[in-house]
Chain A
Amino acid sequence: MNNRFKLGNYSLYLMLLPGLALIVIFNYVPMAGLAIGFQQFNPTKGLFGSEYIGFENFKYVYSLDDTMTVLRNTVSIAVMKMIAGLIVPIVVALLLNEVGKAYFRKGVQTLIYLPHFLSWVILAGILMDVLSPSTGIVNQFLGLFGIKPIFFLGNPSWFQPVLVISDVWKEFGFNTIVYLAALTGINPNLYEAAQMDGAGRRKQTWYITLPGILPIIILLATLSLGNVLNAGFDQVFNMYSPVVYSTGDIIDTYVYRLGMINFQFGVATAVGLFKSVVSFVLISVSYMLAYRFANYRIF
């Protein structure tokens, strides 16, 4: 086993160097920078000069009225997105699976994947236009049924449903692919056998198709657990406004405003640290579950 240290293999370590340097500087140094959360941070004094104040920032955040609202909004938006984002793609994949004409299936797929690739800046611009109470086409359509214009993005009770629906709208097509791939993996002999036994289409779906993709469904549901505190910064930031803070403000937007607008770096970092730690625990648990029950490995 002497060839392990042949000159040739040193180049393997050299190749890793640029990547290692990047993650150390831009990922690991900021992790050390989480210490800001325990400091009375002063940008001119920096990380090493600022005063250590223990858990004061956390106590301060806990005393703010907004904090609980923000936490509640985050979890409620994220969980609704997780559930809707799991069910809709499964249903669409099952429906697409029943389509016989290949060109129709392809056409539908082409159109429903599209929103996934556009940024939330673009999509928020589009949504603000179509949802506008004065000129938006959605309200014009509702007007046909005598419904008064609704200010979807300016009404706290509408804001969360709009977030969930528009997020599903953007992502369901893309997530459908995974289930469609799983559906093609089901052994066709099973369907033939079921037909022989006299099972109709509905029974085949219920007893063959669904159990066939159940492992994937469970896997994706488990992995999504890590997102309980991820309500979708890009989307919320581009669609919310002070009018809907009561239902639309989430941890990430809260951290942004505390830090980048109010310059309370210590307090903002404390909130960010809370989110990072809780998310880390959730992700680790979900990966461990996925590994144990679905033998899923990330690498």
Chain B
Amino acid sequence: MVRRKSPGRTAFIYCNYTLLALLSLLCIFPLIQVLAISFSSSYAAASGLVRFFPVDFTLDAYKYVATKPEFLRSFGITIERVLLGVSINMLVTILVAYPLSKDSSQLRFRTAFVWLFVFTMLFNGGLIPTYVVIKDLHMLNSIWALVLPGALPIFNVILLLNFFRNIPKELLEASFMDGANQWSTLWRIVVPVSLPALATITLFATVGHWNAWFDGIIYMNQPDKYPLQSYMQTIIVARDMSNLSLDDIDKLKNVSDRNIKAAQIFLGALPILLIYPLLQRFFMTGIVMGSVKE
């Protein structure tokens, strides 16, 4: 039953498309403008001439950033924390989610264990007590302070345990029949069939570690131990000029502060933009996964 569209309907469709197009552009225009500024000359950037295309195209800002030891060092620390942190996250998450996906006949006190983990999502000690604990463990200024406290994101555990529960029981029973124990069943059967779920969680963990900045600020006393986002927090947001050396000031003559900041902002966002197609594909799975329960 095909009906002609009424004029009102046609008008609505046009308005709808226009509105949604504007909305989408609104989401990326700020990013595009920052990108344009980062490729513009300091003069053009400082005098506000740049819109959405670079003015006096130059790579000066990026060249300046590339020679900045602080930027490169913090970039390295972030890479280290992402690799170490995500590996630990994944290992512990899998190890916790698998037993909790069993029912109480196999894991006694299952419900109590689950509550022990879930309770940490509902209540926490807050900033100061956590800081005191990290300090008393002598973890300040160590990469472990960035990696261990958040090593078990409970939300990811719940996603994964719900996924594990939907694995056909026959598959596991067949494995036990063949004489495999829990440990080898986990690594040979459960993990391989859960790759889509694990990929989703790996991406969540990666983005989480890449974007984390506050732990760096409070747990690292020396700025040379800052991961990238913490370092960017101090230079872009806090605008502290006092830690510039004379050499830096000399270089600054050619490049206004604004396009350097823009270049760093863009570089800080770049890895996320690069894995964005993957993220988009997987987080839909993640949300569906979280909502599927028996």
Q: A-side interface residues toward B, CB under 8 Å?
A: 1, 4, 7-9, 11-13, 15-16, 18-20, 22-23, 25-34, 36, 43, 46-47, 92, 95-96, 98-100, 104, 107-108, 110-115, 117-119, 121-122, 124-130, 134-137, 140, 169, 173, 177-178, 181, 195, 201, 233-234, 237-239, 252, 255-256, 259-260, 265, 268-269, 272-273, 275-276, 279-280, 283-284, 297-299
Contact residues in B for A178 (Cβ distance below 8 Å)? 287
Which of these binds chain A: B57-65, B98-106, B191-199, B246-254?
A: B98-106
Expressed in whole angstroms, the Cα–Cα distance for A113 and B286 within the complex equals 14
Contact residues in A for B24 (Cβ distance below 8 Å)? 107-108, 111-112
Contact of B127 with A134 in the complex, beta carbons under 8 Å: no
Q: A96-B20, A114-B28, A122-B265 are in contact. Are A4 and B120 (CB under 8 A)?
A: no
A-B pairs with lowest CB-CB distance, top 10: A30-B125, A33-B129, A272-B126, A135-B48, A119-B211, A19-B96, A111-B24, A30-B129, A12-B99, A125-B236
Interface size class on chain B is 35 or more
Q: A115-B27, A280-B122, A298-B158 are in contact. Are A43 and B133 (CB under 8 A)?
A: no
Contact of B129 with A31 in the complex, beta carbons under 8 Å: yes
CB distance from B149 to the nearest CB of A (A): 4
Contact of B95 with A19 in the complex, beta carbons under 8 Å: yes
B276: contacting residue among A1, A117, A126, A136, CB under 8 A: A117
CB distance from A128 to the nearest CB of B (A): 7
CB distance from B157 to the nearest CB of A (A): 8
Contact of A118 with B269 in the complex, beta carbons under 8 Å: yes
A134-B48, A137-B51, A275-B126 known, 8 other contacts, Cβ within 8 Å = A32-B125, A112-B23, A118-B211, A121-B237, A130-B30, A173-B27, A269-B129, A297-B293
CB distance from B238 to the nearest CB of A (A): 9
Expressed in whole angstroms, the Cα–Cα distance for A107 and B27 within the complex equals 12
Contact residues in B for A136 (Cβ distance below 8 Å)? 48
Expressed in whole angstroms, the Cα–Cα distance for A248 and B284 within the complex equals 34
A19: contacting residue among B45, B92, B158, B232, CB under 8 A: B92
Contact of A15 with B98 in the complex, beta carbons under 8 Å: yes
Chosen A-B contacts, 22 in total, with CB atoms closer than 8 Å, are: A12-B182, A16-B96, A18-B91, A22-B92, A27-B120, A31-B124, A33-B128, A34-B129, A95-B20, A124-B237, A125-B265, A128-B236, A129-B34, A129-B37, A136-B48, A177-B287, A201-B9, A256-B127, A260-B131, A276-B123, A297-B293, A299-B293
For chain B residues 1-24, which have a beta carbon within 8 Å of chain A? Answer: 1, 9, 12-13, 16-17, 19-21, 23-24
Contact of A122 with B33 in the complex, beta carbons under 8 Å: no
Contact of B232 with A283 in the complex, beta carbons under 8 Å: no
B124: contacting residue among A11, A30, A99, CB under 8 A: A30
**CB-nearest residue of chain A relative to B151?**
A22
B84 is an interface residue with CB less than 8 A from chain A:
no
Contact of B27 with A125 in the complex, beta carbons under 8 Å: no
B86 is an interface residue with CB less than 8 A from chain A:
no
CB distance from A39 to the nearest CB of B (A): 11
Expressed in whole angstroms, the Cα–Cα distance for A113 and B268 within the complex equals 18
Expressed in whole angstroms, the Cα–Cα distance for A127 and B2 within the complex equals 48
Q: A34-B126, A36-B129 are in contact. Are A110 and B287 (CB under 8 A)?
A: no
Contact of B229 with A255 in the complex, beta carbons under 8 Å: no
Q: Is chain B's binding surface mostly helix, strand, loop or mixed? A: helix
Q: A114-B28, A195-B1, A256-B127 are in contact. Are A16 and B113 (CB under 8 A)?
A: yes
Expressed in whole angstroms, the Cα–Cα distance for A134 and B265 within the complex equals 20
B126: contacting residue among A11, A134, A273, CB under 8 A: A273
Contact residues in A for B23 (Cβ distance below 8 Å)? 92, 108, 112
Contact of B233 with A238 in the complex, beta carbons under 8 Å: yes
Expressed in whole angstroms, the Cα–Cα distance for A107 and B20 within the complex equals 10
Contact of B229 with A23 in the complex, beta carbons under 8 Å: no
Q: A117-B279, A283-B122, A284-B122 are in contact. Are A30 and B130 (CB under 8 A)?
A: yes
The winner among B23, B130, B158 for most chain A CB atoms within 10 A is: B23
Contact residues in B for A125 (Cβ distance below 8 Å)? 34, 232, 236-237, 261, 264-265, 268
The winner among B17, B51, B105, B287 for most chain A CB atoms within 10 A is: B17
CB distance from A130 to the nearest CB of B (A): 5
Q: A23-B152, A238-B233 are in contact. Are A126 and B30 (CB under 8 A)?
A: yes
CB distance from B4 to the nearest CB of A (A): 13
B77 is an interface residue with CB less than 8 A from chain A:
no
Contact residues in B for A234 (Cβ distance below 8 Å)? 213-214
B161 is an interface residue with CB less than 8 A from chain A:
yes
Contact of A31 with B99 in the complex, beta carbons under 8 Å: no
Contact of A128 with B213 in the complex, beta carbons under 8 Å: no
Expressed in whole angstroms, the Cα–Cα distance for A83 and B121 within the complex equals 23
B258: contacting residue among A43, A129, A169, A252, CB under 8 A: A129
Chain B 189-231 near chain A by CB (<8 Å), digits 1 or 0: 0000000000000000001001111100010000000000100
B26: contacting residue among A140, A169, A237, A284, CB under 8 A: A169
Expressed in whole angstroms, the Cα–Cα distance for A71 and B277 within the complex equals 40
**CB-nearest residue of chain B relative to A140?**
B48
Expressed in whole angstroms, the Cα–Cα distance for A297 and B272 within the complex equals 32
